[in-house]
Amino acid sequence: MKPKNFWKQTIALVMTGTMLIGGLGGADQMSVDAADTKSGVEANQKEPKNFKLNLFKYNTSNNVVLNNQNVQTEQPEVNKENVANQETRSTETVNPETQAQENAEQEATEQETLNQEATEQEVANQEVQNQEVETTNAQNAATDAAVSQQNSYYASRGELKFTTPETAEADIYNIETAGVVQNLVSTTIGNDNNLFSAKDCKYYANDLFTSNPATNKSYKDVSLLFDVDAEGYYVFDSDKTNVTYDAKTNSLLRTEQTKGQNEAKFMPLGQEESHFGMNMETPFYLTSNGKVAAPDGTETDGILDLTSDDDTWVYVDNKLVLDLGGIHSAVNGRIDFTTGDVEITSLTGQNPIQDGCAAPYVAMQNDQKAVYNIYNMYGDDSLTNLNDGNAHTLKIYSLERSVGMSDFKLKFNMPQEKINEEALKSEQNKENLDNSKMLLKTNNPEATGQTDNIETKTYKTAEINDANNREYKINISASSIDNVTTSTDESTDIMLVLDVSTSMENKDVNVVSAGNSAEAYNQLQRLDTAYEYDGVSMMADDEERTGTVVFENDKWVFKYESSGQEKSVDITTSNCPKSIKITRIDNLRRAVTAFIKTMREKSPNSRIGIVAISDATGIYKCGRNIYTLTSLDSDTNMMNLINAINGITMQRGSCMTRTLADVYDLLITDNQNSPNEKRAVILFSDCEEYPDDYQSNWNYQKYRKKAFKLKEEADVYGISYNGMKNSGNENNPNSRLTGETYLKRYADEIETVGDVSNLANGFNNITQYLSTKTLRGDVIDYIDPRFTLVKSSSDSSYTAYEVGNTIPSPISGEEAGKVYKDSNGIYIKWENQPLELDEAGKPVWNVELLVRANDDFLGGNVIPTNGVDSRVDVKDEDNNIAETQYFPRPVVNVQTKSLSLQGENRTVFFGNSVEPCKSILGEELYQKIIKDENKDENGNYVYTEPYSYKDTQDHVGDIVYTIKIEKGTLGNHIPTGIGSEVEKYEVSAKIQPIPLDKRIIKFNEEGYTYTADSVAGDVANDNTSVVFSKTNVVAGKIVINKTIPKKDYEAKKGDPIFTFKVTRKDGDEKQTFYKTLRFTKKVVDNADKNTVTLSTTITNLPKGNYRVEELDSMGFKFESLGYSTVPNSDYFNVETNGKVATFKLGAKKTAYSYQKKDIVETVTTEYKNTKIDNNRPRHDDVVKNIFNFDGESKADSTNDADNGVESNYEKLFSGIFSKKDSTVVQK
């Protein structure tokens, strides 16, 4: 809990998130590099980075913007030579005596050149215009019908009109109105920058700011120089500067403005071209608190200030935030991006706002000014992330639609690049830091500092909590260097607002409550000896008696009545009553009495008054039983106040709102001449808010406003305790509240005392706030991104804190810390904490946290546990930061973890390509490793990569990757073998932390003073993980069976011979094989059936489309063709057509399981034939070529057939595939 003068503040805008923006100055640091300065450009002139400007000249034939006039888009080429001449400026030293003359001559020459160029440009423009007119006339005859149809279409939609005084139409869209006409365009735009009409609006705005030869000439990426003022704003002011478009440089050339107040001053395309438009676009950034950096290193609000006299619309991230639509006189729009406030102001005394068409928002009108806020205009959070560290886009669209005055002024200070927020903070605190005793970078567990007589110290230590799970205990403390509190000379007028409703008579306050007499006796010793405690039950005379506990003769005794006589028993540890209760009102009386006595001692010039919350004389007269403000400057006054407290009687009801309205009159309105400046209210109630049905009788809202106003002009403290019934919605003004929720509606701060018996502690704490001055500050601790803030943990698991979770303050009654996240990471912020020392001189504010190294952090030596921005912002009495004291950065050694690599075991079909190890390492890392430069003498690949955790940029070690080729080929290739583990690779990753001594040296060079003893934990060592990549290869098999009837064999006609043609095709590859089966007498005689079957097999076939065909055979005719497959599935796609069978091998779409199996797919064809009944002999025979497949041996011939032969084609196809592949290395 804290006094108001330490914590109360006005908040214009609360924005979450921190961004890091490069540089300190606003408007891109407002610096102009001499090397980039164009000739004739002043040093304080600059074009913002990434700034885009497009101009549009509209064809206003027939007073319609969107027509079919075929105007060519103009995109002039930039004269590079002329630009180079402008950008080159002599740097030779000039004699000062001749400088003026040379300048004059140069200016005369430049002016003559400009005049000549302007004349040439006018001639060129005229020639272009003549040519355009001729082209247009020629095309019009052919397009009259289309023009008529399109003009009718746009007329039915409603057009944007460019007007003159003679052509103005009587509608608010197209005449010079009495002010801005809002809601003519859509509130959102696409990334193509096309502006659209508002829904159901007559105004047709499409294609205004896109290149459309039918409507406009466009000039893209036009350069414009802005002035840069001393406050860091980019400024363009048409009152001071005239600009003219120059086609040669594609820029707006600046000259001094010569036009008067009521003349057209902004005519970039020439004085005769009054109908034009432009759109501008630029990125911008804000700091984490929504501000920008000024040139002097301080922070200031981000401002856009714009004045125009016709339609202008401003969008942020494609959402409309400023609407100055319509034809109007000069109107100013100003956006404060820090607060979100927008003001639209008429500069001619006109009402600024008219509503063209309905839209999500209409600015509130207030005479000549309209005010609203961009952060709540859309009813969502779409624009509340402008401080998130990312670039946001500003787009401005503007039109000049009338003939006459033309003004345009633009001023903004948002930078186009990120500001280095750390450097900004350093610059802002530089003066304090240079004069302080702070040790901003230290291994010392404490750091001290002194600024403006405020002395503080911060402590932070780290120690091992669980080495196996890489968990660390962090202790952070903060306090003043010397005594925290001193008596204050300021006195206070204090009103005690106390609940005296009948519920306060309940006797339910436990002052002693224990499980045994010994424990109860200890509690009894803490009670106030000045009071008697009646209604207590206790064993006496061998039976339970009811009596009174009193303190007399230096001991506690129990008094009771027995047989008409008063008796007493000494209370000891063995007989002490285990429960002693008092009424709520007695508890309150004693607490208030102690409060009055303490205030008399500590602040005798303070004054105290008493108001009872009750319904003493009816519901219309709440807040009576008043004891007026009385000074504590005498014992008599003090006793009068105490007697008033003891004399309060209970009354029905507790109408808080009306009572506080009475208190406002007593303490504020009727107390103007008080000798004391400070005002305070202490509010206690155990009840609920008075029933809502009485509120209307009281003119309730009037009293509520007064009650709330009391919080603005006095410090209002509420006291709550455990067990209060809390209900109601405090955000709903019509909700009936109870308990602490009830108090929060009316109090600035709530003092929580735990059990109600500790009520005196709450008053005592408030006494400290009123009579002493406590040094306070915000404690902010960033967790290093390599760690997770842990709530609780076990051996292998933990619960992490999440954003929005709270961490209690170590001091009872103080505001809890809250977990936040910004661009710097996770941090905890405890606001307005007391920085005090205990009686032993140790900090009272002391928090212990647990952090665990993230699972994906590989470890290392000398790792900081907190970020550099962990600090205490010490506050002054006005709640401003008087000093920033940074925490030390304790470091720990984090044991290394093996890199998580996932091995790969695969089975592929022969002929499919593989790229081993890539899925283990990832594409990018894999490509880095397999470069020739990383190959060692053993043919292995070794690559070392520096290791930093994510964006920390802290090099804590190296990872050494090794690929050892046991057998196989790296790169994308087809394996050249079949079977188990055809290819095998070992992949290892070794974490090598930078040694401890080198890490210490690195930090100490940055200003720290670490030693080996100051680093917690054992030194982190190397850690290696090893996995394998294994590839099995399976293949296909074709079995050809031929069956003939046994009776059809006739030896005298010769052996039946059947030839089969087998064709494989896979992409561009094609192979053909022939297999022959010969039915000999021996084969037929050995058959034990009526049919004879011969078979031949082809094994180790790669994937592909196969065709098996039986060729014509003498003496036999084809009977039938059947087939079977293993496994029995449909992915073979077998089809038969006569003697031909077609099918696929290796067509399975799902991955094969990793198995040690040679063949997984088999197709068996079953051919059946019968003889042809004729007497002709068979004279065909077979000759078979035998190959070794080594490409060198010649083929041998044999007349053997393929009966029962199994042909292995592994070598054949392996040879084909090895020649096809381009490999890295092969073993």
Closest CA to 21 of 426, 427, 422, 429: 422
Cite the beta strand spans of 651-802 per DSSP E.
678-684, 715-720, 749-752, 772-773, 776-782, 787-793, 798-800
**Please, are residues 267 and 283 in contact by the beta-carbon 8 Å criterion?**
no
Within-domain flag for 327: yes
Within-domain flag for 9: no
CB atoms within 10 A of CB 356: 23
The pLDDT of residue 772: 63
Which H helix or E strand runs over 122? helix 96-157
Residue with tokens 């039983």: 625
DSSP lists the bridge partners of residue 626 as none
Within-domain flag for 90: no
**Please, are residues 674 and 727 in contact by the beta-carbon 8 Å criterion?**
no
- Domain shared by 571 and 639, yes or no: no
The pLDDT of residue 577: 94
The residues of the chain scoring below 50 in pLDDT are: 1-41, 43, 62-104, 107, 110, 114, 117-119, 122-124, 128-130, 132-159, 165-170, 358-367, 426-444, 448-454, 483-488, 616-621, 692-698, 1191-1195, 1222-1227
CB atoms within 10 A of CB 746: 23
Cite the beta strand spans of 794-842 per DSSP E.
798-800, 806-807, 817-822, 825-834
Distance of CA 727 to the CA centre of its chain: 35
- Containing domain of residue 284, as a range? 39-85+158-412
Cite the beta strand spans of 435-529 per DSSP E.
446-451, 454-466, 471-480, 486-487, 492-499, 509-513
**Please, are residues 1196 and 1186 in contact by the beta-carbon 8 Å criterion?**
yes
Count of structural domains within the chain: 6
Q: Which of 721, 751, 773 is the last residue of a domain?
A: 773
**Encoded amino acid at 237, one letter:** D
**DSSP one-letter code for 1111:** P
What's 633's domain CATH number?
3.40.50.410
**Please, are residues 1007 and 1125 in contact by the beta-carbon 8 Å criterion?**
no
- Domain shared by 1009 and 1039, yes or no: no
- Domain shared by 549 and 603, yes or no: no
Q: Which of 352, 384, 412 is the last residue of a domain?
A: 412
**Please, are residues 858 and 957 in contact by the beta-carbon 8 Å criterion?**
yes
User: Torsions phi, psi of 355, nearest 5?
Assistant: -100, 110
DSSP for 471-491, written as a single string: EEEEEEEEEESS-S-EE-S--
| 200 φ/ψ sector (left φ>0, alpha ψ -120 to 50, else beta) | left
Question: For the purposes of burial, counting CB atoms within 10 Å of the CB of 1201, is it exposed (0-12), middle (13-18) or buried (19 or more)?
Answer: buried
Q: Dihedral through CA 459, CA 460, CA 461, CA 466, nearest 10?
A: 140
Q: What distance in Å separates the CA atoms of residue 684 and residue 682, rounded to the nearest whole number?
A: 7
Q: What distance in Å separates the CA atoms of residue 314 and residue 267, rounded to the nearest whole number?
A: 20
Q: Pairing between strand 891-894 and 1015-1016?
A: parallel
Could you tell me which residues come within 8 angstroms of residue 3 by beta carbon, excluding any fewer than 6 positions away? 715, 769, 770, 774
Which H helix or E strand runs over 1119? strand 1116-1126
pTM over 0.75: no
Residue 739, classed as helix, strand or coil, is helix
Cite the beta strand spans of 77-233 per DSSP E.
180-182, 216-219, 226-228
For residue 325, give both structure tokens.
């639509």
Measuring CA to CA, how many Å separate 962 from each of 93, 1020, 1164?
62, 21, 46
**Encoded amino acid at 1143, one letter:** F
**DSSP one-letter code for 659:** H
Q: What distance in Å separates the CA atoms of residue 256 and residue 229, rounded to the nearest whole number?
A: 17
Alpha helices in 391-496 (DSSP H): 421-428, 430-434
The pLDDT of residue 62: 41
Distance of CA 390 to the CA centre of its chain: 9
Q: What distance in Å separates the CA atoms of residue 588 and residue 598, rounded to the nearest whole number?
A: 15
Q: What distance in Å separates the CA atoms of residue 471 and residue 465, rounded to the nearest whole number?
A: 5
- How many Cα neighbours within 13 Å face the side chain of 618? 4
For 336-362, what is each residue's pLDDT tens digit?
A: 998 888 888 877 655 556 665 544 334
- Domain shared by 294 and 281, yes or no: yes
Within-domain flag for 812: yes
**DSSP one-letter code for 667:** I
**Please, are residues 570 and 612 in contact by the beta-carbon 8 Å criterion?**
no
- Domain shared by 502 and 630, yes or no: yes
What's 464's domain CATH number?
2.60.40
Q: What distance in Å separates the CA atoms of residue 1017 and residue 464, rounded to the nearest whole number?
A: 6
- Domain shared by 1125 and 1173, yes or no: yes
Q: What distance in Å separates the CA atoms of residue 1027 and residue 989, rounded to the nearest whole number?
A: 9
Angle at 1128 between CA 1122 and CA 1129, to 5 degrees: 105
- Domain shared by 405 and 269, yes or no: yes
Q: What distance in Å separates the CA atoms of residue 966 and residue 1226, rounded to the nearest whole number?
A: 10
Closest CA to 652 of 626, 619, 685, 695: 619
- Domain shared by 696 and 564, yes or no: no
Q: Which of 773, 799, 815 is the last residue of a domain?
A: 773
Question: For the purposes of burial, counting CB atoms within 10 Å of the CB of 893, is it exposed (0-12), middle (13-18) or buried (19 or more)?
Answer: buried
Within-domain flag for 926: yes
Distance of CA 1135 to the CA centre of its chain: 59
Residue 100, classed as helix, strand or coil, is helix
Whether cis (ω within 30° of 0) applies to the bond prior to 691 is no
Closest CA to 201 of 185, 219, 212: 185
The pLDDT of residue 192: 63
Within-domain flag for 3: no
DSSP lists the bridge partners of residue 1101 as 1036
Q: Helix, strand, coil: what percent of the chain each, to 5? A: 20, 35, 45
Q: What distance in Å separates the CA atoms of residue 1036 and residue 1020, rounded to the nearest whole number?
A: 53
The pLDDT of residue 549: 95
- Domain shared by 742 and 876, yes or no: no
Within-domain flag for 312: yes
- Domain shared by 51 and 163, yes or no: yes
- Domain shared by 973 and 1050, yes or no: no
Residue with tokens 């036999």: 1116
Q: Distance from first CA to last CA of the chain, Å, rounded?
A: 76
Residue with tokens 């080159």: 88
Q: What distance in Å separates the CA atoms of residue 443 and residue 1006, rounded to the nearest whole number?
A: 12
Within-domain flag for 94: no
- Domain shared by 548 and 678, yes or no: no
